[in-house]
Structure 1
Amino acid sequence: MAFAAKTWLIGCIIALLFDLKLVSFVDGAPQVPCYFIFGDSLSDCGNNNKLQTLAKVNFLPYGIDYPGGISTGRFTNGKTAVDFLAEFLGFDHHMPAFTSVQGKEVLQGVNYASSGSGILNDTGKIVGERFSLLQQIDNHKSIIERIKQLQGNNDKTTDAYLGKCMYTVNIGSNDYEGNYLMSPAASQTTPPDKWAAQLVAAYSDALKILHDLGARKVAIWGLGSLGCEPSQIIEMKPNTTSGCVDDINHMVSLFDNSLPKLVDDLNKKIPDAHFVYVNMSNINPGNNPAALGVKVTKQPCCKVGDAGSCIPNSPPCANRNDYSYFDLYHPTEKAHLHGILKAYNSTKPQDVYPMNLSKLALL
């Protein structure tokens, strides 16, 4: 009976996705020729596996629900938001990690995301090696050269090709949790509003470089409610109406609230630019289980060690779809799917501004 119910539920979900036109590969070709991914552990698919760093999870229970039940280096139990987006865009595979991509694979896209990384180059240095946003962009330059070679070293052909591709950037959490909030010197000398302004300025510069390299369809993610992560709730034990660490959420909101203006400025000032802002604070409303379709938001699904990651090879919770967090920091596959469904399909500007990702892909 349990198996039948589970099969019925999966069938309903698949039918819903097709009905909403969220799964586009039925047409036989992807909506875009390639998809390039920049970010941190929320998008990392194994780049950090080959780095000298504490920020890697190439062990179970991470990946327990990924196809094949294998650990790939993704910081969740299954697929990430960018994996789902690749599927929605019509690809029959998830974008490969920069550190392992081979041959003609580069033509359909690459995942450069690196756990522990940030907008600022020195963010995350406590964990060891990682690719900062600017380093990820440098890695992208090397991939562009490989694409040019495969396309006959024709700059115009490659530029036109890249201009049709999808780009997503989800980064900045570590600039708070792995930098500002961990550094007394930074937080004492730089008020939260100035820290946010510094991040936005650096972010803007990086996105302009990405545009100079050919990017035209770019979605950037807000950070959402970091103060509602189990890591913050368990450590700080906030006595607040929200149940979250409101001070941290306020700090992060100063950054997030600047991103719509950043998107407007980039779209107005840069030729052929189409930048989109994904508002995670509205899409994933903090500590609200009902809105997320889960039951547990304050506790991790897996057994965690001192660093907040799952204890290697420990059994996770059996009911993983009831949890919004897999470990102390990272969402479950269920939460990733919830967020990307809205980013891809929502018609509300408070979710995705100025358009959703399905419309961005078709420009």
Structure 2
Amino acid sequence: MEYSTCRLLILSCIAVSINMIHSNPLVPALCIFGDSSMDVGNNNHFMTLLKANFLPYGRDFITHKPTGRFCNGKLAVDYAAEYLGFKTYPLPYLSATNETLLTGANFASAGTGFYDKTTLLFQAITLPRQVSYYEDWRNRVARKVGKERAYAMISGGIHILSAGSSDFLQNYYINPLLNTIYTPSQFSDILLTSYNTFVQKLYQLGVRKIGVTTLPPMGCLPGAITLFGFGTNKCMSRLNDDAMMFNKSLNETSQKLVARYRDLKIVVFDIYQPLLDIITKPSDHGFSESRRGCCGTGIVEISFLCNAISIGTCSNATSYVFWDGFHPSEATNQMLTRKLLMQGLSLIS
């Protein structure tokens, strides 16, 4: 057995043992920001083109009912909450009560990007608005438990962000007003300026532990291959190169932020390589299909295109890397979360 695998198994056992001994989670709060990979139902509460509150979304979730998650079951952040020892998943902020907010909240909205104009295209919740909701959450918690305990929750809690995919796939690549003016590198700089502002604002609000995900291998997503592959059936190196370029800059920007704020911890979760490994060698990870998603034809469906009458939807999503044209299946989410456990150790300490 490889050394890295042994370490992962040991960590998993430690986490399980701690949670069996102690009823409290490993951190006081878990707060989520970002896009459809993180949204657990905020988009259910307003008019938007991107929703997932209907079947077959959610068919394999605990309740077997759609929740607004863009998946057949649990998201990676749901598994992260479990591994951290939380008894419940952070609820969508727009439907949470004062009682359910005491362990964190989910502010994510499908269609959100670092670039506000991307978000507005889909009438989603911009990152600045998500931060505003977070500030409201902080104030509600302080009124409930007092400022001292609220500060401990904020400074000790983990805050996770995922964004950027929508900026490229749903805006930059299809918008000549952007892709003829900016190179992918220049557009990335615009996105990372927004990321820099986001982190600084959270820091001002007392946040000290942030995890941010890299872009996935965008050129391997079924929907991206269908829309931008010009008939090819293989991963597009151009899109993957853009993702790797962005990820490199994301790491550099994060390092500069940590250097500026000495008591700030930022972990850049690399989902690019683990997901690429699963996609390119699906059988090695227990999957049989990585080119198509489970829902419908599996080559482009997302949101309302993935519905209860979508012809071709698979009966068992556990063998599929992707659920729809852009989002991983529950089985993939669980595998990715396990692979990322080691990367996030510093956020727990």
Matches within 5 A, 1:115-264: 115-127=110-122, 129-152=123-146, 154=147, 156-237=148-229, 243-264=234-255
The 2-side partners of 1:51 and 1:167 are apart by: 24
Match of residue 77 from structure 1: 72
Higher-helix-fraction structure: 2
Choose which of 86, 89, 95 in structure 1 pairs with 2:84: 89
- The answer to whether 1:360 aligns with 2:334 is no
Question: For the Cα contact (< 8 Å) 1:64–1:70, is it kept in 2?
Answer: yes
Alignment deviations for residues 197-254 of structure 1 (CA, whole Å, 9 cap, x no partner) = 11112211111111111111111000120110101222344687x9211111112222
Q: Does the C-alpha gap of structure 1 residues 342 and 22 become closer, same or farther in structure 2, counting only changes over 3 Å?
A: farther
Question: For the Cα contact (< 8 Å) 1:35–1:165, is it kept in 2?
Answer: yes
Secondary structure of the residue that 2:99 maps to in structure 1? helix
Secondary structure of the residue that 1:324 maps to in structure 2? strand
Choose which of 42, 50, 75 in structure 1 pairs with 2:37: 42
Question: For the Cα contact (< 8 Å) 2:119–2:125, is it kept in 1?
Answer: no
The 2-side partners of 1:171 and 1:292 are apart by: 26
- TM-fit CA distance, 1:177: 1.3
The 2-side partners of 1:165 and 1:135 are apart by: 20
TM-score by length of 1: 0.86
The 2-side partners of 1:18 and 1:302 are apart by: 34
Q: State how many pairs are aligned.
A: 333
The 2-side partners of 1:184 and 1:237 are apart by: 17
Secondary structure of the residue that 2:116 maps to in structure 1? coil
The 1-side partners of 2:276 and 2:200 are apart by: 30
Name the amino acid aligned to 1:102: T
The 2-side partners of 1:149 and 1:185 are apart by: 46
Structure 2 portions without partners, runs of 5+: 1-8
Choose which of 333, 341, 345 in structure 2 pairs with 1:344: 341
Matches within 5 A, 1:288-307: 288=280, 289-290=282-283, 292-303=285-296
The 1-side partners of 2:244 and 2:236 are apart by: 13
Root-mean-square deviation over aligned CA pairs: 2.1
Choose 259-268 or 231-240, whichever is displaced more: 231-240
Residue identity over aligned pairs, in percent, reads 29
Structure 1 portions without partners, runs of 5+: 1-15, 346-355
The 1-side partners of 2:221 and 2:189 are apart by: 23
